[in-house]
Chains A and B, each alone.
Chain A
Amino acid sequence: MSNNKHHMGMKTLNRLSNSAIYTLLVIISVVWLIPFVFIVLQSFRVESTYQVGYVVPHQWGFQNYINLWNSDFKRWYLNTFIIALAAAVLQTIIVLCMSYTLSRFRFKLRGPLMRFMLILGMFPGMLTMIILYRVLSDLGLTQANAVPGLILVSVASSGMGYYVSKGFFDTIPKSLDEAARVDGATRLQVLYKIILPLAKPIVIYTILTAFMGPWGDYVFARYVAFGTSAGYNVAVGMYSWLTNDQINNMYTTFCAGGVIVALPVTILFLCLQKYYVEGVTGGAVKG
């Protein structure tokens, strides 16, 4: 009987602490979600195009989205999508190959190379902006040709982002590689038939981060496009609406653009968030 009582006490305690945690989480998520809700509401406001002192629109409509369709936004969106997609594909391939190599092969300059990349990674990417612009401009990859230029910028240094996936690969026993090699697999087959299926969370994490970088990029994109609308991505393009002479006409359209930009990433995250969390924490504990 006393045992049962004790049990009940634990249960109540658990319930109490759980409710406390959930209350806190709800408050945090409300705080987080307010800006999104605000932007979504503004994007459907059609009675005026400038900033107003209230949140819920008086008149609802799709005019802002129609405006988007009729502006340069289509072009910017496509630019961003191409850059992000290319970066996601190419970066993932490079990062995974790099990680596999550093995890499995032992070669002379492996240690120095890893240290070198670690130190290099400590410098902010912005430092290279001037020289990168120079190089891209000489290659003819600026302004209207900013898209291939930006793809090059984001892919060129991607091998340096090997840490997380190398850490994960290190936890996969080497004897699996050896067994597969005895079984007749080439190194490449070992990578995509054995290692990658076992490292699914890391692969997805790599794809997501590679996609996200260029998707939200502003500084480099603006610099490389350098005032030519055809080379803008969404962030740079939409920011040009926020100048003093434009903002009163474009404010609600800007909000609609924000919603459209957030949409694919949100969907991607909702579908893959399980893997994403596993990926971020995956290197630490043996999978």
Chain B
Amino acid sequence: MASVKLTNVKKVYDKNVVAVHDFNLEIKDKEFVVFVGPSGCGKSTTLRMIAGLEEISEGTVEIDGEVVNDLQPKDRGIAMVFQNYALYPHMSVYDNIAFSLRLKKVPEDVIYDKVTKAAETLGITEYLMRKPRALSGGQRQRVAIGRAMVRDSKVFLMDEPLSNLDAKLRNQMRAEIILLRQKLDTTFIYVTHDQTEAMTLADRIVIMKDGFIMQVGSPDEVFDMPDNLFVAEFIGAPKMNIVKTGLVCENGKYYVTPFGAKIAVDGDKGEMLAERGVKGGEVLLGVRPEHIDLAKAGEDAIPCTLVVDEMMGSELHLHVDTEDGTRMIVRVPTIDISKEERKALVAGAKLYITFGGKAMHLFDPETEKNLLA
């Protein structure tokens, strides 16, 4: 159990390729932090620098108040779970889990207790004598977690631990990691490219792009108030619809004018725009698919044509084209649609969509920053 602090951490490969720029973050004791971003954003590199598997080019990493830049991985008090499990193929599951304890010359009876306890927690007791190749993907990942558990480390590092599993197993293991976290009660740093994992697991999410931190915040914060366009599009599935549109101010009230419609910006957000002295002009308007509703023709409705309808079970994903050909996605709960309405929702159907002022996100078209953040 420990805090982790990264100060101006930078990673430079071959003198000119910068993988991580000036990374600053303080992770509190027992916090679950997720680094998320597309591939090549530097999230794994950052994790590996904390682990000591990658040299830190500049800046400092502190674990529990101690600068660990020059410490070997084994002396940093960390445990790590790898994407490809990294189990030792020539050792049984028991020996895999016991490996670190044997290196520390822990007595065999203590090792036995710890390994069996970890195996019970993870439900792999019956496989202890098997070799890793005789296990399924999910079982292997459990062994990898068991190997990290018995180390009683201060920080638990996980590098895309679920990426090699199929979708169903991934959901199951995700829930198990939440349970594990409750049991272990230690600091977790978790790397993933999957925003769902980030949202469901994290206390705080660190969203990265091209080696820069784009935003740090709780799942609620990054979802409701993304700092910039990148975060807005990255978090949430299907991703947020982004439309270039006008923002006008009439009698102290703000309106957006997408595709000829005129939709009022809701009270709170309008007030914030006024406070900031926003004059109006061109903006990037972001609306999440689930915040768009089917509507009747009117001033605040946008006419469009249905292109694809995806039946997801509890909801319907409608891909629609507006009159100027902009593609938008609309998420409609199936329970809100009558049978007749559903029948009419076929490719080529003409519909109207609208959204409330509360659901809007407004970004500066140049800086791509959130105008309201």
- Do A179 and B82 touch (CB < 8 A)? yes
Which of A178, A184, A197 is in CB contact (< 8 Å) with B53? A178
- Do A180 and B53 touch (CB < 8 A)? no
A197 to B91, CA, bound (A): 10
Contact with B along A133-175 (1 / 0, CB 8 A): 0000000000000000000000000000000000000000101
A176 to B82, CA, bound (A): 9
- Do A183 and B100 touch (CB < 8 A)? yes
Interchain nearest-CB distance for A119 vs B (Å): 25
Task: Tell me, yes or no, whether A82 is within 8 Å of chain B by CB.
Answer: no
Q: Pick out which of these stretches binds chain A: B72-80, B218-226, B251-259, B358-366.
A: B72-80
Interchain nearest-CB distance for A153 vs B (Å): 36
- Do A184 and B104 touch (CB < 8 A)? yes
Interchain nearest-CB distance for A120 vs B (Å): 27
Task: Tell me, yes or no, whether B151 is within 8 Å of chain A by CB.
Answer: yes
Task: Tell me, yes or no, whether B230 is within 8 Å of chain A by CB.
Answer: no
A175 to B53, CA, bound (A): 10
Task: Tell me, yes or no, whether A261 is within 8 Å of chain B by CB.
Answer: no
- Do A173 and B74 touch (CB < 8 A)? no
A276 to B82, CA, bound (A): 33
Task: Tell me, yes or no, whether B103 is within 8 Å of chain A by CB.
Answer: yes
Contacts of B51 in A (CB 8 A): 178, 182
Contacts of B147 in A (CB 8 A): 179, 183
- Do A181 and B72 touch (CB < 8 A)? yes
- Do B90 and A183 touch (CB < 8 A)? no
Please, how many residues of chain B have a CB less than 8 angstroms from a CB on the other chain?
23
Which of A175, A185, A189 is in CB contact (< 8 Å) with B86? A175
Interchain nearest-CB distance for A8 vs B (Å): 38
Given contact pairs A178-B53, A183-B147, A198 touches B82 in the complex (Cβ within 8 A): no
- Do B53 and A181 touch (CB < 8 A)? yes
Task: Tell me, yes or no, whether B334 is within 8 Å of chain A by CB.
Answer: no
Which of B84, B89, B100 is in CB contact (< 8 Å) with A184? B100
Interchain nearest-CB distance for B124 vs A (Å): 17
- Do A198 and B99 touch (CB < 8 A)? no
Contacts of B79 in A (CB 8 A): 182
Given contact pairs A197-B90, A198-B89, A198-B90, A183 touches B103 in the complex (Cβ within 8 A): yes
Given contact pairs A181-B53, A182-B78, A197-B90, A173 touches B72 in the complex (Cβ within 8 A): no
Contacts of B73 in A (CB 8 A): 178, 181-182
- Do A178 and B90 touch (CB < 8 A)? no
Closest-by-CB residue of A relative to B99 is A183
- Do A179 and B104 touch (CB < 8 A)? no
Interchain nearest-CB distance for A174 vs B (Å): 9
- Do A181 and B86 touch (CB < 8 A)? no
Contacts of A181 in B (CB 8 A): 52-53, 72-74
Closest-by-CB residue of B relative to A181 is B73
- Do A176 and B90 touch (CB < 8 A)? no
Contacts of A173 in B (CB 8 A): 84, 86
Contacts of B88 in A (CB 8 A): 176, 179-180, 194
Contact with A along B56-91 (1 / 0, CB 8 A): 000000000000000011100011101110111110
Task: Give the residues from 13 to 64 in chain B that come closer than 8 angstroms, CB to CB, to chain A.
Answer: 51-53
* 4 nearest A-B pairs in the assembled complex, by CB-CB distance: A183-B100, A179-B86, A175-B86, A184-B74
5 sample A-B contacts, Cβ–Cβ < 8 Å, listed by A number = A175-B83, A175-B84, A179-B82, A179-B147, A183-B100
User: Given contacts A182-B52, A185-B74, could you give 11 more A-B pairs where the C-beta distance is less than 8 Å?
Assistant: A175-B86, A176-B86, A178-B73, A178-B82, A179-B82, A179-B86, A179-B87, A184-B100, A185-B99, A189-B103, A197-B90
Which of A's residues lie within 8 Å of B, judged by CB?
173, 175-176, 178-185, 189, 194, 197-198
